[in-house]
Amino acid sequence: MIDRTNAVATIHLGWHIPIMASKFQGSLDDLTNRLATGGIVGEWTEKPNSIFQMKCADGVGINWSQTKGTLWCDGKSEPKEAREKQIAEILGTPFEAPAQKGFTGAAVSRKVFVVYGHDDKARTELEAMLRRWALEPLILDQLASGGQTIIEKLESVRREASFAVVLATPDDEGHRKDHPEEKAFRGRTLCLN
Protein backbone atom coordinates (compact mmCIF):
# COMPACT_ATOMS: atom_id res chain seq x y z
CA MET A 1 0.00 0.00 0.00
CA ILE A 2 1.28 3.46 -0.91
CA ASP A 3 0.73 6.49 1.32
CA ARG A 4 -0.78 9.11 -0.97
CA THR A 5 -0.59 11.79 1.76
CA ASN A 6 3.09 12.32 0.88
CA ALA A 7 2.23 13.14 -2.74
CA VAL A 8 3.19 16.63 -3.88
CA ALA A 9 1.61 18.80 -6.54
CA THR A 10 3.95 21.22 -8.29
CA ILE A 11 3.03 24.34 -10.20
CA HIS A 12 5.73 25.83 -12.42
CA LEU A 13 5.09 29.21 -13.97
CA GLY A 14 7.24 29.86 -17.00
CA TRP A 15 7.47 33.64 -17.13
CA HIS A 16 9.75 36.28 -15.72
CA ILE A 17 8.65 39.65 -14.35
CA PRO A 18 11.40 42.22 -14.95
CA ILE A 19 12.63 44.16 -11.93
CA MET A 20 13.51 47.83 -11.94
CA ALA A 21 17.28 48.31 -11.84
CA SER A 22 19.90 51.02 -11.85
CA LYS A 23 23.65 51.03 -12.42
CA PHE A 24 26.54 51.87 -10.11
CA GLN A 25 30.11 51.37 -11.26
CA GLY A 26 32.52 51.69 -8.35
CA SER A 27 33.46 49.94 -5.14
CA LEU A 28 31.22 48.84 -2.29
CA ASP A 29 32.81 51.54 -0.10
CA ASP A 30 31.99 54.18 -2.74
CA LEU A 31 28.37 53.00 -2.90
CA THR A 32 28.09 52.92 0.91
CA ASN A 33 29.45 56.48 1.19
CA ARG A 34 27.19 57.82 -1.58
CA LEU A 35 24.09 56.26 0.01
CA ALA A 36 25.10 57.57 3.46
CA THR A 37 25.16 61.15 2.10
CA GLY A 38 21.43 60.70 1.38
CA GLY A 39 20.69 59.18 4.79
CA ILE A 40 20.71 55.51 3.76
CA VAL A 41 22.93 53.61 6.17
CA GLY A 42 23.23 49.97 7.11
CA GLU A 43 25.36 46.86 7.03
CA TRP A 44 25.99 45.02 3.79
CA THR A 45 25.74 41.23 3.70
CA GLU A 46 27.62 39.34 1.00
CA LYS A 47 25.48 36.89 -0.98
CA PRO A 48 26.60 34.36 -3.62
CA ASN A 49 27.92 35.58 -7.00
CA SER A 50 29.45 38.83 -5.67
CA ILE A 51 26.06 40.29 -4.73
CA PHE A 52 25.77 42.48 -1.65
CA GLN A 53 22.54 43.30 0.19
CA MET A 54 21.63 45.97 2.75
CA LYS A 55 18.32 45.59 4.62
CA CYS A 56 16.72 48.93 5.48
CA ALA A 57 14.47 49.66 8.47
CA ASP A 58 11.43 49.88 6.15
CA GLY A 59 11.98 46.26 5.06
CA VAL A 60 13.38 47.16 1.64
CA GLY A 61 16.48 45.28 0.53
CA ILE A 62 19.05 47.19 -1.51
CA ASN A 63 21.00 44.76 -3.70
CA TRP A 64 24.15 45.43 -5.71
CA SER A 65 25.98 43.11 -8.10
CA GLN A 66 29.66 43.96 -7.86
CA THR A 67 30.46 42.18 -11.13
CA LYS A 68 27.68 43.73 -13.26
CA GLY A 69 27.27 47.04 -11.42
CA THR A 70 23.50 46.47 -11.26
CA LEU A 71 21.61 47.97 -8.32
CA TRP A 72 18.05 46.91 -7.47
CA CYS A 73 15.63 46.93 -4.55
CA ASP A 74 13.20 44.33 -3.27
CA GLY A 75 10.39 44.43 -0.74
CA LYS A 76 6.82 45.70 -0.55
CA SER A 77 5.81 47.87 -3.49
CA GLU A 78 5.24 51.28 -1.86
CA PRO A 79 8.39 51.50 0.33
CA LYS A 80 10.44 49.86 -2.45
CA GLU A 81 9.39 52.51 -4.99
CA ALA A 82 10.11 55.29 -2.47
CA ARG A 83 13.57 53.82 -1.80
CA GLU A 84 14.29 53.50 -5.54
CA LYS A 85 13.36 57.15 -6.02
CA GLN A 86 15.61 58.18 -3.12
CA ILE A 87 18.57 56.17 -4.46
CA ALA A 88 18.02 57.52 -7.99
CA GLU A 89 18.22 61.08 -6.62
CA ILE A 90 21.37 60.30 -4.60
CA LEU A 91 23.21 58.54 -7.43
CA GLY A 92 21.76 60.50 -10.34
CA THR A 93 20.81 57.32 -12.21
CA PRO A 94 17.19 56.23 -12.74
CA PHE A 95 15.71 52.81 -11.99
CA GLU A 96 14.42 51.27 -15.23
CA ALA A 97 13.14 47.90 -16.40
CA PRO A 98 15.96 46.08 -18.19
CA ALA A 99 15.68 45.80 -21.98
CA GLN A 100 14.22 42.46 -23.03
CA LYS A 101 16.19 40.73 -25.78
CA GLY A 102 14.02 40.09 -28.80
CA PHE A 103 11.05 41.98 -27.31
CA THR A 104 8.97 43.51 -30.08
CA GLY A 105 6.67 45.60 -27.91
CA ALA A 106 3.68 43.51 -28.99
CA ALA A 107 0.93 42.99 -26.43
CA VAL A 108 1.28 39.82 -24.38
CA SER A 109 -1.74 37.54 -24.27
CA ARG A 110 -3.25 36.81 -20.84
CA LYS A 111 -4.00 33.26 -22.01
CA VAL A 112 -2.21 30.44 -20.16
CA PHE A 113 -2.05 26.86 -21.43
CA VAL A 114 -2.60 24.38 -18.60
CA VAL A 115 -1.08 20.88 -18.67
CA TYR A 116 -2.73 18.63 -16.09
CA GLY A 117 -3.29 15.04 -15.02
CA HIS A 118 -6.21 13.21 -13.40
CA ASP A 119 -6.47 15.33 -10.22
CA ASP A 120 -9.64 17.31 -10.98
CA LYS A 121 -9.61 19.13 -7.60
CA ALA A 122 -6.06 20.43 -8.14
CA ARG A 123 -6.90 21.46 -11.71
CA THR A 124 -10.03 23.32 -10.56
CA GLU A 125 -8.05 25.12 -7.82
CA LEU A 126 -5.35 26.07 -10.32
CA GLU A 127 -7.96 27.37 -12.77
CA ALA A 128 -9.57 29.49 -10.02
CA MET A 129 -6.16 30.88 -8.98
CA LEU A 130 -5.27 31.85 -12.56
CA ARG A 131 -8.64 33.58 -13.00
CA ARG A 132 -8.07 35.53 -9.73
CA TRP A 133 -4.82 36.75 -11.31
CA ALA A 134 -6.87 37.99 -14.32
CA LEU A 135 -5.41 35.28 -16.56
CA GLU A 136 -7.39 33.09 -18.96
CA PRO A 137 -6.60 29.39 -18.51
CA LEU A 138 -6.76 27.28 -21.67
CA ILE A 139 -7.72 23.78 -20.54
CA LEU A 140 -7.97 21.30 -23.42
CA ASP A 141 -11.06 19.40 -22.32
CA GLN A 142 -12.95 22.70 -21.88
CA LEU A 143 -12.18 23.99 -25.38
CA ALA A 144 -14.32 23.27 -28.43
CA SER A 145 -12.47 20.95 -30.78
CA GLY A 146 -14.05 22.24 -34.00
CA GLY A 147 -13.34 18.88 -35.63
CA GLN A 148 -9.61 19.15 -34.86
CA THR A 149 -7.48 16.23 -33.82
CA ILE A 150 -5.74 16.47 -30.41
CA ILE A 151 -2.48 17.48 -32.12
CA GLU A 152 -4.22 20.22 -34.16
CA LYS A 153 -5.96 21.45 -31.01
CA LEU A 154 -2.61 21.58 -29.14
CA GLU A 155 -1.03 23.55 -32.01
CA SER A 156 -3.92 26.01 -32.00
CA VAL A 157 -3.74 26.53 -28.22
CA ARG A 158 0.05 26.88 -28.38
CA ARG A 159 -0.31 29.84 -30.76
CA GLU A 160 -2.89 31.54 -28.51
CA ALA A 161 -1.12 31.23 -25.16
CA SER A 162 1.79 33.37 -24.00
CA PHE A 163 2.54 31.13 -21.02
CA ALA A 164 2.09 27.57 -19.80
CA VAL A 165 1.55 26.04 -16.38
CA VAL A 166 2.32 22.38 -15.72
CA LEU A 167 0.36 20.90 -12.82
CA ALA A 168 2.31 17.77 -11.88
CA THR A 169 0.27 15.55 -9.56
CA PRO A 170 0.88 11.90 -8.59
CA ASP A 171 -1.76 10.36 -10.87
CA ASP A 172 -0.13 7.05 -11.77
CA GLU A 173 1.69 4.30 -9.94
CA GLY A 174 4.82 2.83 -11.40
CA HIS A 175 8.11 1.02 -10.79
CA ARG A 176 11.18 -0.21 -12.61
CA LYS A 177 10.74 -3.40 -14.59
CA ASP A 178 10.94 -6.46 -12.30
CA HIS A 179 10.93 -4.28 -9.13
CA PRO A 180 7.28 -4.11 -7.95
CA GLU A 181 8.50 -3.36 -4.40
CA GLU A 182 9.56 0.11 -5.68
CA LYS A 183 5.99 1.00 -6.62
CA ALA A 184 5.43 4.75 -6.12
CA PHE A 185 3.13 7.54 -7.27
CA ARG A 186 4.28 9.59 -10.26
CA GLY A 187 2.97 12.13 -12.73
CA ARG A 188 1.28 10.85 -15.86
CA THR A 189 4.10 9.87 -18.19
CA LEU A 190 2.19 10.89 -21.35
CA CYS A 191 1.75 14.42 -19.94
CA LEU A 192 5.38 14.69 -18.90
CA ASN A 193 6.95 13.65 -22.23
pLDDT band at residue 36 under the 50/70/90 scheme: very high
Check: pTM over 0.85? Answer yes or no.
no
Percent of the chain with pLDDT over 70: 78
Query: Rounded mean pLDDT of 54-66?
Result: 90
pLDDT at 49 over 60: yes
Q: What angle do CA 191, 187, 129 make, to 5 degrees?
A: 80
Distance, in Å, from the CA atom of 141 to the CA atom of 161, rounded to the nearest integer, reads: 16
Question: Strand locations in the chain, DSSP E?
Answer: 10-13, 21-23, 44-47, 51-55, 61-65, 70-74, 111-115, 136-138, 163-168, 172-174, 184-186
**Which residues, at least 6 apart from 84, have a Cβ–Cβ distance to it below 8 Å?**
20, 22, 73, 95
pLDDT digits (tens, 9 = 90+) for 109-123: 788 888 877 788 888
pLDDT digits (tens, 9 = 90+) for 123-174: 888 888 888 888 888 888 787 777 888 778 777 777 788 788 887 777 667 7
pLDDT at 2 over 50: no
pLDDT digits (tens, 9 = 90+) for 68-83: 888 988 888 788 889 9
Map residue 64 onto helix, strand or coil: strand
